[in-house]
Structure 1
C-alpha cells in the first residue's frame, strides 16, 4: 500500500519555503524595500474592514448618511472601523507613491523588468478609481460636491463626453443611481487589485530584485532571515504606529467639516475640495482654466505612468551612478509634491499658479526620460576618448 505523502511536501509548502526562507536577497537592500511589502498586507486589511462596513452601510441617498452615523455611534467598534478605513487610505497612497518614486530612482523599470512598472501602473490607476468611488457612500455635502466636481470635467471630451459623465451618474445629475454605481465597484475592485499585486512581484523573483546601487542581482546575496525578516517587521511596526496616531488622535485631520453635513443639492459650499487621497487628481483640472485642457492633462498624466520603460535609453540602472538623471529626478519629485495640498485649497490666483507649476513634473518627466540616458552616454564616451588620447 502506497504511503500518503507528508503534508509538508504538498505544493503550497515548498512554494512558501522558497519565497520566505530559501529565497536569497541582496545584502544592500535598504528599508525602502519595506514600502513595496506594505502594499499587499495593507490592501487585505482595507478589504476586510470594508466588508464589515458594507454590512452596516445602506447605499441609498436617503439613509446613506444616517447609516454612516449609525456605524459611528451604535455599531460596536464601528468608529474605529470607519476611521481606519478612511484614514488608512491616505498613508496607503503615500506608501504607494513613495514606492513608485524609489523604483524610478533605482531604475527598477529598466530592461527585463518593464512589465513590473506596467503592471504597477495598472494597479495604481485601479486604486485611484476605487478610492474615488469610495468617496460617494458617506453622502456628505463635500463628498457629493467633490464627486460632481471631479467627474463633470469629462463632459469636455469630444463626441463621447456626455456619455462618459451620464453613464457613471446613472442620469443627468449625481443621485441615487450614482451612489449604487459607485458603491458596488468600490466594494469589488479591490479583489482583482490584490490579485494583480500578487502577480506584480513575480518578475523580480525571476530576474532578481533591484537595489539602490544597481548591481547585478546575482551578486552578494544573503539569507533573508535577520536581514529582511527583521527589517520588514520593523517597517510594518513604524507604519502601524503612524497610522494609529492618525486614527486615535486626529481622525478628522484630513477631513472637511462640510462632510459632516448631509448632502444637499440646493446648497453649494464656499469652495469644493476633495478630502484626503483624491486631492492630487482634483488639483489637475483646478490648475487649468480650460475644461478641455484639464481633461487632456489628466489623460496625459495617466498615460505617462507606464511610459519610462519603453523610453529608457540608459545602460546603468541606479541614479547614484547617473548624476544628470539624479538631479532631474529630485527636481521633478519636489515639483510634484504640492499637488495634494493644492487640491484642498480654494481656487485663487496664487494656488492656481502653484498648481500649474506642480503640473510640469508629471507631464514632462516621462517625456524627457530618454534625454538623460543619451546625454550621459555621450559624456561617458567623450570622457573615455579623452583618456585614450
Structure 2
C-alpha cells in the first residue's frame, strides 16, 4: 500500500543525510514502522498484542543475557547458581523473576494474538505466509521455554525433561535413538543440561530473526483489519506513526504494569513449588506437569489411554504434535471468502466454543490424571480436532454471512446506525459455497 500521505523519508539534519547516503537504516525504519507505512484506520486493541509480543521477546533476551553471566550449566552447580542469583547477586532476584514471569506473559500475549488471528481470519489469502511464520515463531517459543524450564535443575525441571524427551521414544525404531541423541545419554544429566543451556541461549535470537521475516511478510499485503475488507484508498488508512505508536505505547505501558505486579507481588504464582527442590532422580514428584502454557497439549497427550493398532502413547504424541501442525493448513480448511468473524454468525459461535474448549484442555492438563479429568480431556480433544477438520470446513461451505461494508470507512462494526436502504432495494447477503 502506498498513498499520497506516505511521503518518502527526507532527513533534515546533516548527520542524518550523511548516514542515509551511506547506510539507509533510518529510511528502512521509517518505511517499516513510521509515517511511511499505511495501516487500516479501524484497528482495535486486539491488534496491540503483536507489539506486546515483541516487547516481551526483548525482555526475555535482555534478562536472559544477564542471567547467563551468573548461571552454571552443571548438574552439580545449576540449582545452587540459581539460588546464588536470587540471594547474593545485586538485583538478581528481580532479573530472575522478570525472566520467569516474562516467559508466561510472552505466551499470554502470543495466545491472544493467535486467537485474534483466528477470529478475524488473518490466516486467509493473501496472508497465509504471515500466519505460517507466526506459527514457526510459536513452535520456537515452545522449544525455548521447555529448555529454559530445565535449567534451574529443580525437581520439576528434571522430571519434566525426563517425561517430555520420553515422547520421542514412542516412535518405533528411531524414537529411542533420537531421545538419547537429544539428551546426550539415557537420562537427563550433565550433557543434557549443557545442550539445553546452549540452545536456550541461541533460540531467542532465531526467534528474533523469524519475527523480522514475519513483519516483512506482513508489510507486503498490509495488515488485516476487524472488517476483513481490503483497503480501497487512502481514506481507509492512517500512518503507523504517530497514531498507532501512541495507541500501542500507552496500551503496552498498562500491560507492562500488570506484568510488574506479578514480578514484585506474585512472582511464583505462575510457577511450580517443586522446582525449588533440587533435582533428585530417585524421587519422583507426585504430580508431574509442564508449565501452564503447555497444559492444553499435555491434556491431548494424556487423552489416549487405549492401544488401538498402535500404542496409546504413540497416538497421544502424534495427536499432540498434530494439534499444532494442523493450524498450518487452516488457510485451506476454512474456505470462506469472508475473513472477519464479525460477519460470520455461525462461525462466531463455534469460535467461542473453541476458546472454551482450549480452556477446558488447559484445566485438564494441569490436573491429576484421574478418570474424570482423563475422560474430560478425551471429550475436549475430540472437539478440538472436530472443530478444525469437520466443523470449520462445513461452516465455510454452508454459512450465510452478513453483508460486508463497501469499505473500511463505511463499516458498521461499532454500533453506528446503518442508513436505510431505498424502498424496493434488494437485501444483501453473501452465501458461501465452497
Q: Same fold (TM over 0.5)?
A: yes
Instruction: Indicate conservation of the 8 Å contact 1:150/1:282, yes or no.
Output: no
Paired residue for 1:325?
347
Deviations 1:177-233 (A, max 9, x none): 111121111110111110110110223322121011112124411233453122101
Deviations 1:46-71 (A, max 9, x none): 11111111111111110110000000
Cα 1:8–1:374 change in 2 (3 A) is same
Equivalent position to 1:222, from 230, 238, 246: 238
Paired residue for 1:6?
18
Instruction: Indicate conservation of the 8 Å contact 2:39/2:237, yes or no.
Output: yes
Q: Tell me, yes or no, if structure 1 residue 48 matches structure 2 residue 62.
A: yes
Paired residue for 1:376?
399
Instruction: Indicate conservation of the 8 Å contact 1:168/1:182, yes or no.
Output: no
Comparing 246-255 with 318-327, greater Cα deviation is found at 318-327
Cα 1:248–1:166 change in 2 (3 A) is same
Match of 2:270, SS state, is coil
The number of equivalent residue pairs is: 382
* Unmatched runs of 5 consecutive residues or more in structure 2: 1-13, 306-311, 404-427
Tell me by how many angstroms 1:6 deviates.
Answer: 3.1
Paired residue for 1:21?
35
Equivalent position to 1:195, from 200, 206, 209: 209
CA distance in 2: counterparts of 1:365 and 1:84, whole angstroms: 37
TM-score, length of structure 1 as denominator length: 0.92
CA distance in 1: counterparts of 2:324 and 2:239, whole angstroms: 39
* Unmatched runs of 5 consecutive residues or more in structure 1: none
Tell me by how many angstroms 1:8 deviates.
Answer: 4.6
Match of 1:32, SS state, is helix
Task: Give the CA RMSD over aligned residues.
Answer: 2.3
Cα 1:100–1:379 change in 2 (3 A) is closer
Paired residue for 2:126?
112
Deviations 1:125-171 (A, max 9, x none): 11101111111110001111122122213211122111222111111
CA distance in 2: counterparts of 1:249 and 1:22, whole angstroms: 42
Comparing 358-367 with 15-24, greater Cα deviation is found at 358-367
Equivalent position to 2:51, from 37, 43, 49: 37
Tell me by how many angstroms 1:291 deviates.
Answer: 0.9
Paired residue for 2:8?
none
Instruction: Indicate conservation of the 8 Å contact 1:131/1:277, yes or no.
Output: no
Deviations 1:86-127 (A, max 9, x none): 111112101101101101111111111110111111111111
Q: Tell me, yes or no, if structure 1 residue 260 matches structure 2 residue 282.
A: no
TM-score, length of structure 2 as denominator length: 0.83
